[in-house]
Amino acid sequence: MALITPHKFRFIYSAFKDKHFNLLDVGAGSHSATKTKSVFPNCNYYGIDITKSYENDDADFNAMSGFYEMDLTKLDFQSIPDNHFDVIIMSHIIEHLHNGDKVIEGLISKLKQGGYIYIEYPAERSTRLPKMKRTLNFYDDPTHVRIYTVKEVEGVLQPKGFEILKSGTRRYWPYIILLPFTLITETIKYGFVPGGVFWDILGFAEFVFAKKK
């Protein structure tokens, strides 16, 4: 694993490292397949998104074992096999869904016994953070429709037989330590500082990492 890798991968890496496993990424845009395979080259990557065209190219689709194009809010997951995946990732998805809790419930059956789920979303405190380009305040993104809490997400998983392994505010220290450098590089890259560089130091996001018993 690289010295610094996305927070959503750090717990999964400790469980699988370079093993073969099936991963379902709920929200598979922004070249997510290529980025995921760079950390887990032996995983079978499957993606879900409402459209194929959200910042994906041929390299991304070549990295995928499968892609499910669907509107999650319709709660129709029959095309996705049950008990098939070792890992499900839902990173910054449920805040865009008015029924994100029901979507989580609907996808639980797709996870194998002993499998892991990682869910990340803006915290309630994000509604009080300053407004910035590329989202620092919850309302910076007009597609955000609902605020969730750790207690609420855990309350969906625990009755379904999940053990909560880790949860709380995302404070990824490598990102915080590198913040001065990141401020410079992002300013050069974009001409401004994206709000996302402050997520960890200001506690923008919460996460829940759980295992299906």
DSSP state string for the chain: --SS--HHHHHHHHHHTTS-EEEEEES--TTHHHHHHHH-TTEEEEEEES-TTSS--HHHHHTEEEEEE--GGG---TTSPTT-EEEEEEES-GGG-TTHHHHHHHHGGGEEEEEEEEEEEE-GGGGGSPP-TT-SSGGGSTT------HHHHHHHHGGGTEEEEEEEE---HHHHHTHHHHHHHHHHHHSS--GGGGHHHHT-EEEEEEEE-
Q: What is the residue-level pLDDT of the chain in tens, covering all 213 positions?
A: 455 789 999 999 988 988 999 999 999 999 999 999 999 999 999 999 999 888 899 999 999 999 999 999 999 999 999 999 999 999 999 999 999 999 999 999 999 999 999 999 999 999 999 999 999 999 999 999 999 999 999 999 999 999 999 999 999 999 999 999 999 999 999 999 999 999 999 999 999 999 999
This model's pTM is above 0.85: yes
Write down the pLDDT at residue 25.
Answer: 98
Nearest to 10 by CA among 94, 96, 87: 87
d(CA 111, CA 160): 12
What is the spatial distance between Cα 168 and Cα 207, in angstroms, rounded to a whole number?
6
CA separation, residue 48 to residues 83, 92, 152, 194 (Å): 16, 13, 23, 26
* CA distances to 41, 65, 140, 163, 176 from 59, in Å: 14, 12, 31, 36, 31
Give Cα 4 distance to the centre of its chain: 17
pLDDT of 3 reads: 52
Tokens of 4: 């610094």
pLDDT at 52: 87
Structural domains in the chain, CATH included, are 7-212 (3.40.50.150)
